[in-house]
Structure 1
């Protein structure tokens, strides 16, 4: 049999395979160069960027939990201008598509970021993080309100012709409502899920183990929830869905693909195993080869219900 075809198209971004890195877990990619061939990954999604550099939250900012971890980094980043001037030159040297994750505290900030990125040829797409505090709405996150999700996606869509992926928050009653709003506003694809809000308490001190009190739960603990939400959203929208949440092995990734995801993102696994992305790619290829499935796209959404 001819070599298995792992290529997928995520709303206009053509990937050599369906394995991407999750924003915030892979730095700006250069950190992983000593460990893996960055050219083998389907796409690199860089750490979320804001207009200005941000120091994030005070430490402690990370704590381990059973089957996962809580983080309250606070979206620390170098800012869009430093990224363009200092990081992008390195990313230009690799063949893997670069997707820039952006966040803002207002619709205007999201719009300006998209406008700054739009004419940079080496950036293949934008991932819009709508799980951030919306200052204009009194602290309500864009990602938990269908109307707010629509407005920010629409505003970004007007400022860029690049493929637009919107990252959805799981901290909602019905994630399909947010998904449909983002799709209606012009999103080319959706990534889900972001972390689930949680906390951890030190019973000796009776204080939170995180300075921020609460944090985002990620890792294997959230995989069943992420899988369920991907399945629900994939049935509702007509654009590609990217599965995120607790994916550590090829089997995990394949579950998401069968549930309806066209591609997946590897997140927390990168902290434990820097070769996780490469191992998942190889595992998917082996799975398809063993079953004489010529293309990974033939596996998408094949859950037997």
Structure 2
């Protein structure tokens, strides 16, 4: 690792701050137990948990994870301990270790999100909620909530109504074609920040079996193959904030972050935090390594504070999509 330089890495979380901008993307770090063998979890800015659903579930059948060029496909399904299991076993373990925990929550109905938020509000160790809007929404006949600005608005508003003092981040999908509209709806409903982006729908074929490689057929693409798409989404939404088309809120970026350079790219595009996901499968020490690399990248470029780099790429472009 590089020698640590005198750079202020403080980053925003909702209306407050955390010591640094590094988090984990929901899923790959589970609830932190395995990762804790490699990384002191309290040294992360935050840890975002696997998505918690109202009830426990075994998830999708295997195979659930398949490597693809420059990425990973996954179809884990609803594998989670349920709210009661999370409150009984996982959250106390995280709180005892001083982890700044952001709980990812999901559901098929608006009421699922509201119920989870109400039960988590005020719990020791919970620093925020991330709303997984990419689960199929029953009210929209299976179309992900993240594809529908009106439904996304309703979910965020319902969560803020029961957890008004807790930072709430809406997690958006990259492949709905409406990312800016959904982002604006979420912020209008009271979202304190945005998580961008979730995995993109994709598929791989097993040539020998002559069928989809994932048991579920389609899955979510993560890893470096997703990063240019994610950077574009972050850039678009931050541009809309700069143009006054929506209030400015922090963006937590994710999608193929493997190095400090990747983290800085997202930051220049408009993110004020970055999360590491599938890279943890290859290198479980990645979060603190990436943080050190980001510090070195900032120092090399003359920055004394991380937040000074947020959105600087917009100063050299004149259109929302980055064309000169």
2:230 is equivalent to residue 220 of structure 1: no
2:40 is equivalent to residue 34 of structure 1: no
1:129 corresponds, among 129, 132, 146, to: 132
In the TM superposition, what is the alpha-carbon distance from 1:121 to its structure 2 partner?
Answer: 3.2
In the TM superposition, what is the alpha-carbon distance from 1:15 to its structure 2 partner?
Answer: 1.2
Partner residue in 1 for 2:75:
72
Task: Out of 82-91 and 209-218, give the one that drifted further.
Answer: 82-91
Instruction: Check the 8 A contact 1:72/1:214 in 2, yes or no.
Output: yes
Distance 1:64 1:174 in 2: 28
Residue 52 of structure 1 aligns to a residue whose secondary structure is: coil
Instruction: Check the 8 A contact 2:99/2:125 in 1, yes or no.
Output: no
TM-score normalised by L of structure 2: 0.91
Offset from partner CA, 1:113-161 (integer Å, 9 cap, x none): 0000012132010000000011122212111011111111111111102
2:46 is equivalent to residue 43 of structure 1: yes
In the TM superposition, what is the alpha-carbon distance from 1:185 to its structure 2 partner?
Answer: 0.6
Task: Out of 134-143 and 243-252, give the one that drifted further.
Answer: 134-143
Offset from partner CA, 1:244-267 (integer Å, 9 cap, x none): 101100000000000100001100
2:143 is equivalent to residue 140 of structure 1: yes
Distance 2:111 2:87 in 1: 20
Distance 2:23 2:188 in 1: 25
TM-score normalised by L of structure 1: 0.97
**Count of aligned pairs:** 305
1:239 corresponds, among 249, 266, 269, to: 249
Distance 2:78 2:231 in 1: 25
The 5 A counterparts of 1:67-216 are 67-161=70-164, 162-216=166-220
Distance 2:283 2:78 in 1: 22
Instruction: Check the 8 A contact 1:23/1:267 in 2, yes or no.
Output: yes
Distance 1:15 1:236 in 2: 25
Instruction: Check the 8 A contact 1:115/1:159 in 2, yes or no.
Output: yes
Residue 30 of structure 1 aligns to a residue whose secondary structure is: coil
Offset from partner CA, 1:221-275 (integer Å, 9 cap, x none): 0100000110001112311111110110000000000010000110000110001
2:70 is equivalent to residue 60 of structure 1: no
Task: Out of 216-225 and 5-14, give the one that drifted further.
Answer: 5-14
Runs of 4+ in 1 over 4 A off after TM superposition: none
Instruction: Check the 8 A contact 2:268/2:311 in 1, yes or no.
Output: yes
In the TM superposition, what is the alpha-carbon distance from 1:13 to its structure 2 partner?
Answer: 4.3
1:20 corresponds, among 19, 23, 30, to: 23
For the aligned residue pairs, the C-alpha RMSD in angstroms reads 1.4
Offset from partner CA, 1:65-120 (integer Å, 9 cap, x none): 00001000003111111111111121112333100000011001111000000121
Instruction: Check the 8 A contact 1:8/1:15 in 2, yes or no.
Output: yes
Distance 1:229 1:34 in 2: 33
